Every structure is written in structure tokens, then in C-alpha cells.
Structure 1
Amino acid sequence: MNRGKTVFAQLLDFVPFNHFEYLTERFAANHGIKHFSAWSQFICMAYAQLTRRDGLRDLVACLNSQKSKLYHIGIRSKVSRSTLADANERRDWRLFEALGHRLISIALELYRDEDIGLGLKEPLYAMDSTTIDLCLTLFPWAEFRSTKAAVKAHTIIDLRGSIPVFLSITTGKVHDVNLLDVIPFPAGTIVVIDRGYLHFARLYALHQRQVTFVIRAKNNLRFTWIASREVDKATGLRCDQTILLATPKSKTAYPERLRRVSFRDPETGKHLVFLTNRFDLPALTIANIYKNRWQIELFFKWLKQNLAIKHFYGNSLNAVKSQIWIAICVYLLVSIAKKQLNLPASQQILLNLFEVNMFDKTPINQMVANAIQNLDEPDISKQLNLFDF
């Protein structure tokens, strides 16, 4: 089926091309442009993400060195720095955001039945942000500090498959907690968040919308004890209490009961206290829900280390947003390929394989099978001993 297609072309086949053309028309992305289409820009930028190019000059040189291999997937002419830079600066970033949303819906359907081991029937989301530092001289619009520029990627991931379901890119000055005002969490979902989002009025708004939250409490929390439940301290649990907030301001912001779960991690010895509005789940499940929040940190780490978002190929807000959304699209394409082809490898390994085999004409599943069949420890029984004389 994939005979004659490069690995890169096979990966791009997971893009719903008809929908991409519809989006191109919707955002007039090719209006007045003759030689460098929106699809060509997406291919160039996806190539940059997969091969982790350090800059625009590096990217263009590598693209033009593979001109014959890129011809059949949409790049029909030599790519110039000015053409690609202009496209990043001027073509509406919302095209790639909309494509990302379409890929998110595909990935969510594929990972809908993924078991995260907590016995939950409801969707479980983790919310956090990551800060991407920028040069203040080149990005003066990205307000952060007096000597530093930055953007924040406010993100929500579905923990079934670590699929990003929401992404908002703001300047570094925007506080994380403000995003709770704009995100329409569906009723019946569970969201796990760190204590940077501890704002009782906003948490109460989530509670009124029938959204479950699990959040880490601050050390200075003042409360009134109402009741306690027994816990198995061998699991790391220390207490499971029903409380009311004690200060006038917090009582006004959140007037109803909360559940307070204290936990000491047996592995690290770290003491953590969680607040939740969910009373029917076991206390250990509440602790494990928060433990799963670490997946969003792994997602940010994976994104920064393995995709080219540390080096931006344009200085405008439009260029930055386009590049980050294309990076998310590439991440989603890898996730979709992994699930649809049932690839027995991590996303980290898959990304490395795509990078080094991009223009091989091997089916992706065969490429992965070839890569993992010899991952066992090598036989060193016949290896010479360094100290044999």
C-alpha cells in the first residue's frame, strides 16, 4: 500500500487533506499567493519539527537539499528564506489551530477507551502551562519581565493518551488562574491542577458547573474540621477530612464543604495535601489522580526537547502561534500513527525513527518492527576482557 512512499509522506497521509483544503478556503490562506501554498508551508514547518532544525537558514538549506524527494508531497519549487519567513509572518495562524483541533478530535476518538488504571468512567484532564523564553529585543510584544520576553502555552491534556485538547498561547505576563474563566469544561469531567490555580471563587464556579477538581492545597490553608474518614496509612495516606474554609474571604468565595486528603509519598517522602469537591471516590484514588498530573509535565518536556519550539522562524505573534500549533499537529500525527498502526514503540522512539528514516521508502510499521527487534541487551559472552593479558 505504501510502496514508493517515503516515511514522511506516509505520516502526512494521516492529515485529513480534504479538511485542510476546506480550512485553507475558510481562512483565505492562499489568497493572492501563486507559488507557496498553505500546504507547502505546513510541510516545511512539519519537516522542521521532525528534524529539529535550529533556524530558518538551516531549515531552508536542508529542504532544498531534498528537493526531489519533497516534490511529490507538495513542494514543487525551491524554498527561499524570504518566502518561508513571509508565510510565517502573514498567513493566518488560525489555519493551523483549526487543523490542530481536527487532529485532536481524531486522536480523542482513537484513545477514547485507553485505560489509565484508576477505574474512572469520566474523562480526566490535567491543566497547566509552560513558559517559553524569548529574546526581548526580537520579541518586544511578548511581555514578561523588564529584561525578558516569553510566551505561555496554557494547555489541557486528556490523560487517556496524553492528548492536548486545549491550547491558548499568551504573553508570559498572563497568570495561569485567569484561564479558568474561559475554559468551558463539560459537566461530569475531572480536572487535576496544581496549586497555582488555587482561587476559591473560580473553583466554586467549576463546582457549580458539576466539574470535579483535584488541586494541591497551599501550606497556609485555614479551615474548620467537620468530619474524618479512616485511611490505610500503609498506602501513604495520612488523613481524609471534610472541611469548611475558615477565613471570611475564602468562606465567601467557596461556601460549601470541601474534602481534604493528606498523603505522604512512600517513594520520595514528600508530604502533599489535596482539595477536591468529590466525596465518593476512595482517598487513594484522589491521590493517584493528582499523581497522574505529572503526565502534563512529561508532555511539556517531550514537546520542548523533541520538537523545534525553542528556535522560532519568525518574530511576530502570528509566526510564533503558527509554529507552536504546527508542533502540536506533528505531536498529534505521531500519536494518531501510533494508535492506528498499533506501533509497539513510545512516541519518543517514534519521533527519532521518523527523523532518521524520513525519506526511506519503508512502510512505517515495518520500519518500527525493524527498529525494535534488536533492542534486547547485546550478547557480550564473546567480548574480550579489557584486563585479559
Structure 2
Amino acid sequence: MDNIPKMTVIRQCLSLLPTLSPTCVPLDYGVKKLRTLALLQLSVTAHLLRWESYREYAWQLDASPDLQELLGLPSISASQVSRRMNQLPTALLEHLFYALTHLIKNLSRPASSGLLQRVGRLLLVDASCLKLPAFLSDWARVTRDRCGVKIHVSYAVTSPEHTFVQHMVPSTGNVSDYEGSDLLLHEEEVTYVLDRGYVCYERMDRWIEGGLNFVMRIADHHQANVLHEHPVPEGSRILRDATVQMGSGYTAMEQRVRLVEFTDEKGRLYRIVTTQWEASAEDIAEIYEHRWLIELFFKWLKQHLRLVRLQSTQPQGIWNHLYLSLIAHALTLYIRYTQAPEKTEWEVLKRLRIHAAKEHTWEEFIQELNRRPTRTSKGRRKTGAKRRTPTLDHPVAYTKAVNEKRIVDRKQKKAGIEQNKNNK
């Protein structure tokens, strides 16, 4: 990575984006101020630094001479950003996202041991709902009282240390999970991991005929006609391993699948159907347990990039917001895998925000990101002493012991408050 001397953190992050200048030229016809390239750079910066509104875009630009010089934009208004964001072609952001995904994918290496070495790459497929205000979003109405959109994602797991978003499809909230899967399931040399929302016998037959491998959880009410029982290891958590045909009558599947039933550490039952015939039943259970990684990814997006609060109520503005969030996530991943692979995504993003706010150089950011602790500690040692129970008596707090009976009568409750005031 060739760094320009004195290049700030934000300048270096934006330099990692694929070049789009020739593509942006036709889109700027008639645009006098906020050109497409400047809009892209400003928006990516906003998502990396978690600016929560278009108005904050304007405030932050006014406060940063470095960003003004980079964008060639001394000032901007929130209404200009909103108008241009709702006009920006989503295909441009989609191209940018997949270009970054390609870079991240090239950094991955196949697992040399363990489950992923035996079964190959996993693609976790799931969807997450994002709410919209009902009085502004009739076009995204799901029920009478709820409006929203969905983000359908396939999340690649190539090794225990290397995961990334491979595909994303935005949709309105009334698109079911298995309808979204039609655009996500198409690779033959991977294993797709899906939850109960993707059960559709017609599609499952089509996937098998197309040579796709999947591991899918089914609900308790899904009927499985057992054709052959396979031996189960004694003393394991595997309860059943069988060849089955799903459904009954005219709704039954034409193809046969493998049914594996197991319990987790809390005793909860999982029923899994799969096309993985060579893997052991224990491996099938472990494959499905990897599905939790995509749930953590959705939580990361909503918690650290504030994806729960969309900045537009127009379709194109929302699709653009979703892709910009994934671009910010992909940039964070790329920096982590190339500069600090031992750090977590959150540690990299948090340090990036701290150094960007102070307009530190890229070298200072990388040096701090990889700084080793100067002092070592074994941590607090366990002594076996009983933990001291804190006292609840305090002049400014109204407290009750844990086992004390709750006061239901209002007169008794009022008397207790008065007594507490008198004690003060």
C-alpha cells in the first residue's frame, strides 16, 4: 500500500476505493456543486464515521478543512445531499461494493484443518428487516401498521479467521426469505446454510437438480417420511441420522434428503435437512452452528453503523444507504485483513474513528493499531474469598432488599416514600 506523505486516515481510506471517475462523468451533466465522485466520498466518510443525518454531513464538512480540500467542496446543505442521494444510481454503488468484495475474497486462503478443510467454503444466507415510518412509506407497506425493507445477504466463511459479505439483495419488506434466495443461491462448489424461513419444497428440489449443496433447519411441523435410518454414535448429541422424503401427497419433495437431529448444550432440539451425504452427522451439526455468524454480522451493522436508522424514505435513497453501509463494512474488513489481522472489526473501526476525528496521518493510525502493550498483567487472580455484598443504605436512593415483599397498596407505597424523605 503506497502512502502519500502526511496523508490523513480518511484520505487513505477513500484512496482504497476503486476508481470510478470515468463512470461518474456522464452523471454530472448539469450538476453545479455536489458532483458524483464528491458525493460518493462524502457518503462513505459519513458511514465510516457514523454521521447520523444529512444535516450532520453539512456540519462535519464545515468543521473539516482537510475534507473540504479533498472533495473540492467548501460547504453543502442537507437538502442538496438528500436530493443527490435520491438520484444517485444504485448500480454505481453496487459495482463499488462488489469490487471491494473481490479484493477481500482474493485475500482469503482455504482452511488447512478442521471442519472447513473437510467440507469447504460455507455461504450463510439470511435476511434482516429494517423498519420505516408508516406515514411516509406506503410503497414499503408490509401490514396495515408496519412498513419496512429487507436486506438479503449471503455471508462467506472461508476460514475461522476470514469472513465477508459475498452478495446482497435489497427488497421491500413483503418479499419472503425464500423468494430472496432465488437471487443468492447459484454456486455449486459451496455449502449454503439456511434457517427455517427458507423451507420451500419446490425450490429445494430445484436446488438439488442444479447441483447445489445446502444445510437447512426445518420446523417441528415439517413432515419427514423416513426411508432409511443410519447408525448414530453412542453418547453423542446426535439423535437421528436418516434418509427421508419431505412432505406428503402432492406437496412432497421429489428428491431425497438427509435428516440430522441433534441437541445443543441447552437441550434444544434442531432438525436439519441437507444434501451433504459424505460428511458425518457431527459435522452437519457444526456446519449449522456457523449460521450464528450472520446474525452477529447483522447486529454489527445495526449497532456500529447505525443501519437501524435509515436516512431516506425514498426507494433509491434507501438502496443507496444499504450499499454504502456494506461499503463501509468492506473497507473496515480490508484494513483489518491487510494491516491488523489480529484485531477485531470493531477495534479497527473504533480506532479509525478516533484518528480520523483528530486528522492524524495514516502512519500514526497503523502504528497505534499495531502497538503492543508495554506492561503485562496476569489479571485479577481468584483467591477463593467470598464476594462482598454491597450495602443498599444510601441517603439519595430509595432501595429495597431483593427478597422484600413488593408494596402493591398505593397508601403503603406513599407512606414508605414519606418515611424515606423523613429519614433524609
Same fold (TM over 0.5): yes
Aligned AA for 1:216?
Answer: R
Give the corresponding residue for 2:171: 170
Instruction: Answer 1 or 2: higher relative contact order, Cα 8 Å, separation at least 6.
Output: 1
| 115-124 or 338-347, which deviates more | 115-124
Q: Check the 8 A contact 2:201/2:246 in 1, yes or no.
A: no
- C-alpha contact 2:61 2:74 (8 A) present in aligned 1: no
Does residue 360 of structure 1 match 2:357?
no
- Which of structure 1's runs of 4+ aligned residues deviate more than 6 A? 378-381
Partner of residue 24, structure 1: 24
Q: Which amino acid aligns with 1:136?
A: A
| Alignment: residue pair count | 373
2:104 matches 1:103: no
Q: How big is each residue's C-alpha offset from its partner over 1:54-106, in whole Å with a ceiling of 9 and x where there is no partner?
A: 3222232122111x111343243212212211111112122111111111111
The answer on whether the counterparts of 1:343 and 1:365 sit within 8 Å (CA) in structure 2 is: no
Task: Assess if the C-alpha contact under 8 Å between 2:12 and 2:362 holds in 1.
Answer: no
Larger mean Cα displacement after TM superposition, 156-165 or 331-340: 156-165
Residue in 1 aligned with 2:338? 340
Which residue pairs with 2:394 in the alignment?
A: none
Q: 1:194 to 1:6 in 2, by over 3 A?
A: same
**Alignment match, 2:393:** none
What residue identity is the alignment partner of 1:258? V
**Counterparts of 2:234 and 2:187, CA distance in 1:** 34
User: TM-score under structure 1 normalisation?
Assistant: 0.89
Bigger drift between 3-12 and 52-61 goes to 52-61
Q: Under a length normalisation based on structure 2, what TM-score does the superposition of the two structures give? A: 0.82
What corresponds to 2:12 in structure 1?
Answer: 10
Q: Give identity over the alignment, percent.
A: 21
Write the distance in 2 (CA, Å) between the matches of 1:75 and 1:31: 17
CA contact (8 A) 1:110 1:339 kept: yes
Q: In the alignment, what sits opposite 2:268? A: 270
What's the counterpart of residue 183 of structure 1? 184
Mapping for residues 84-123 of structure 1, pairs under 5 Å = 84-113=81-110, 117-118=114-115, 119-120=117-118, 122-123=120-121
Instruction: Indicate how the Cα distance of structure 1 residues 237 and 345 shifts in structure 2: closer, same or farther if over 3 A, else same.
Output: same
| Mapped contact 1:14–1:336 kept (Cα < 8 A) | no
SS at match of 1:301: helix
Query: CA RMSD of the aligned region, Å?
Result: 2.3
Matches within 5 A, 1:1-389: 1-17=3-19, 20-25=20-25, 28-66=26-64, 68-113=65-110, 117-118=114-115, 119-120=117-118, 122-160=120-158, 161-245=162-246, 247-251=248-252, 254-265=253-264, 267-358=265-356, 359-363=359-363, 364-370=365-371, 373=373
Alignment deviations for residues 354-380 of structure 1 (CA, whole Å, 9 cap, x no partner): 11111211424212023x636966988
Q: Which amino acid aligns with 2:95?
A: A
Q: Distance in 1 between matches of 2:379 and 2:289?
A: 38
Which ranges of structure 2 fall in alignment gaps of 5 or more residues? 382-387, 389-424
* Shift, 1:114, TM fit: 5.2
How far off is 1:45 after superposition? 1.5
Amino acid at match of 2:156: D
Shift of 1:241: 0.9
* Conserved 8 A contact 2:61-2:68: no
SS in 1 for 2:220: coil
Corresponding residue SS for 1:3: coil
Tell me the amino acid that sits aligned with residue 310 of structure 1: V
